[in-house]
A = this chain, B = another copy of it.
């Protein structure tokens, strides 16, 4: 069965200071946009480089075809999600970060501060989403259409989705 990792990266949420609304927003989006059955493997961790790397590697090993992270993509000192993701992936797909930033410019001029990346390791596609639940949805709406086909190309599990785009076979 299709497995999807959802990793909330937040010092405060992981310390129980506030509820993790971001992870829930991702889950909601996935349920609205995926038709076949899937299992979510959920993790809630602080903004620590080593913990992020370890968690991503664990979820890759568990054969998640997709891992969505939320949080830690900004310019502040504690924001290290892109660096940790870069440590794990074999190939970066710069178009994902670019399109999320351009698309979010419609909502706020500060969207250019986001440093989230998309990348591939083995049969897993990892994408860094921002921490803000509203921004999560805006970002997923921008790039979702391309995600299932990306996972096809790297040999991951098939995602059935009416909102996805797959080019016709040549």
B75 touches A91 (CB 8 A): yes
Chain A 133-170 residues near chain B, CB threshold 8 A: 143, 145-146, 149-150, 153-155, 165-167, 170
Chain B: minimal CB distance from A44 (Å) = 18
Contact A93 B113 (CB under 8 A): yes
**Complex alpha-carbon distance, A146 and B108, angstroms:** 9
Residues from 56 to 98 in A contacting B, C-beta threshold 8 Å: 74-77, 79, 91-98
Contacts of A114 in B (CB 8 A): 95
A150 and B77 alpha carbons, distance in the complex (Å): 12
Cβ A96 vs Cβ B112 within 8 A: yes
Instruction: Please count how many residues in chain A sit with their CB below 8 Å of the partner chain's CB atoms.
Output: 40
Q: Report whether A77 and B109 are in contact in the complex, using a CB–CB cutoff of 8 Å.
A: no
A75-B153, A76-B153 known; A165 vs B93 contact (CB < 8 Å): no
Can you offer 25 A-B residue contacts whose CB atoms are under 8 A? A75-B91, A75-B120, A76-B153, A76-B154, A77-B154, A77-B155, A79-B91, A91-B115, A92-B115, A94-B94, A94-B98, A94-B115, A95-B101, A95-B111, A95-B112, A95-B113, A95-B115, A98-B101, A98-B102, A99-B101, A99-B112, A109-B145, A109-B146, A109-B165, A113-B153
Interface residues of A (CB under 8 A from B): 74-77, 79, 91-99, 101-102, 105, 108-115, 120, 125, 132, 143, 145-146, 149-150, 153-155, 165-167, 170
